[in-house]
Structures are given as structure tokens and as C-alpha cells.
A and B are shown apart, each in its own frame.
Chain A
């Protein structure tokens, strides 16, 4: 939780900040996947500093309960402050905004479909 600057109200009702609001470095801001369709939806999953595995396997970070999903279907890798979606040689592929892709750098609002499950990528 960032420190709030100390707020002082003066007689003239102008607001002065004794210390500036401390912004988090961009690399530390949280990005998310909003799981919009599929078992477990709706829910929000944070993406972290380590790869996130999506798939049918019980040990996947995001479990997709569909026979159409491969066990380790896709991986989302942090990369230069962004996230890269990668098809992990899945049987049925990944769709990004309706395009079947092997990999992609994600952008805010991207729609990812794996089997019947749908996720929206959100930048923090």
C-alpha cells in the first residue's frame, strides 16, 4: 500500500501536499486476467513475476475445466514489464480477439479464449 501524502487544508481552501503521493514503479503494478466465462467465472486472477500456466491439469495456476483444453495449454510470461501469451503446443490452440495465435504480447482489453473459457487481460 503506497503512503498517502499529508494533506493540508489552508484558509483559502487550496490543497497543498507536504509530500508527494508515492507511485509504484510501473513494473510492480499488478496486471490481471478477468475470467469471464467458464467454470469458476467470474473471478479476477493476478499475474505475477513468474509464469502463469493455464490448462486442464490440477496443478495449473489457472485450471480450465474443459476436455477441449490441454493439460498445460498456455503460459503467460512476464517480459520487459509486459506479458507474453504463449501456446504451449496445445491441441486446440488459443484465440486472441478471435485470431488463432501461437504467441502475442498482451494489451489492455485483449480477449483470450481457451476452449470454452474466456479471459480479459487488464493492465493495472
Chain B
């Protein structure tokens, strides 16, 4: 049994279709994590539309879909009204909240399909869409253990950890790690030591096979957008290094970042990790890429 991770939307804040985003993609956050038996979706940004089109063409696709919303800011829910399985009667879509009887995500997702915003109202969807609860400490769903931890983002946000037969995948979008006064920040020459990181965050990300991490800004961009809920890629790199993640996917690309700028950022982050003698492999999340993790 293997676990597959596919990026369907990697952009933050706003869909950004442009010639200069063609490589890494312009769709907002959506990541699919699947086994042969189950489909888990992290966030319903505009990337979920292409995912939905793909699901309905698959042979033997599971009829149950598990949707985990990190939070309900627009770029994480805006694709749901265009998610084709939502219109099929034989689909069941569980919308998870974190904690017992937490149906807040379900309510906010349905609220965006009020007729004042969208012509098809939520109650007219063909699929059975239902709220479901995730125990933050962990819930077993179709052979995959899923747990959650809180992230620092305006309005609140959750990361999700997927564990299956020794594989650990962490989805941590929309997270601001605030530099401390002891950090070299901005680290314009990329010479500083690893930054101080919240110990519980490091523990939560420890030994991940793949850490999908908010890396919206470089240090200079972060300086002008403090408090907006996103992290500098250098800080994200330090988290991957300190937590000993095997792979770090820089995620939630800024809508102003061009493909060339993202590639440059990856190069700088790799230099940083190499300087720290880390084995963490760093890459930029890119639409259409699927990774496979074999059970241990």
C-alpha cells in the first residue's frame, strides 16, 4: 500500500492565471492525499475544480470523499461550488471540523453558496454533503490516521497530519512563524543560524516524510506583511531542517511571485539547508505533480 500526494492548487490568496505562473500554477490551495481506498482533500481552493474533474473520470474511485479545511478564508473554499463530485448523487462528501460536533466549516462552506453569492444553493447539490468531526488527537479513516494541530493565522487555522503504515505527511498551509529578536532577520546574505521556532510546532512536524508548509514570502516581503498570517521561506526551511523532515514543499506561493522568483527562492532555501548540513530536500509545490510514498 502506498500513499499518493498530488498538488492541484499551490497559490495563496488569489487565483493567479498568468504566463508567469504557468509552471507552478495559479490555482489556490488544494492538495489530494489518497490511498487505493480513500480520497482526502486538504482545502477547497480553485484547484479543487480540476481535482473533481479528474475524480469523476477515474475507474473505481471511492464514492466517499473526506474534505479537510485548514480554515475558511476565500482562497481555501472558493473552488467548492465548482467541484463536480458535489453534483453527483452517488457521492458523499464529509466536511470535517476539528473537535467534537464542530460543524463551523460545513456551515461556512454552505454559506458561500447562498443565492446572493452563487446560483446553485447548497441544498440543491446532488451529493450527500455532511459535517463530520475530527478528534485533534487523531481519527482513523479508511486505514489512515489523521490528526490536527493549531497554526498561527488570523481567524485561526489548522494543520493536518496524515499517517499510514509508517508514512507521515503534514499539510501546514497558512501559518505565520514570527521571527524573534534573536534571529538574523532579514537574512539578506543567507548567513544566519536557524531561527528560533515554537517547540510544539517542531515536535508536531518531526520526522515528516513530506512537510507541506506555508512559504509565501521571502524575508524582505515578510517584513512588509507582518501579521498577515504567512511565513518567510527561510523560516519554513529552518522548520524543515530542525524537524528533520525528509522533504519540504514550499507552498501557498504569493500571487505576485513569478515562476522564476519561486525557482530562485527554492535555490536559496536549498543553499541554506546545505549550509546547515541538512538532508531535507526542498522543492516548490507545483500544480500537477504527484508524489508516491511506499509503506514501510
Contacts and interface: CB of A to CB of B under 8 A. Distances in A.
What 10 A-B pairs come out closest when comparing CB atoms?
Answer: A105-B288, A102-B292, A103-B290, A102-B290, A104-B289, A107-B23, A99-B283, A101-B289, A104-B288, A102-B291
A87 B143 CA distance: 25
Contact of B4 (A84, A100, A102, A105): A102
Contact of A105 (B283, B287, B291, B292): B287
Contacts of B283: 97-99
Nearest to A100: B291
Interface string B12-32: 000000000011000000000
Contacts of B291: 99-102
A98 B263 CA distance: 13
B23 A104 contact: no
Interface in A84-124: 84, 87, 96-105, 107
Interface of B: 4, 6, 22-23, 281, 283, 286-292
Interface residues of A, number: 13
Contacts of B292: 87, 102
6 contacts: A98-B283, A99-B289, A102-B292, A103-B6, A104-B288, A107-B23
A98 B284 CA distance: 11
A99 B291 CA distance: 9
Contacts of B287: 105
A99 B250 CA distance: 13
A87 B23 CA distance: 20
Nearest to B7: A104
A96 B22 contact: no
A98 B290 CA distance: 14
B289 A96 contact: yes
Contacts of A84: 288
A99 B6 CA distance: 13
Interface string A60-81: 0000000000000000000000
Nearest to B283: A99
A101 B249 CA distance: 13
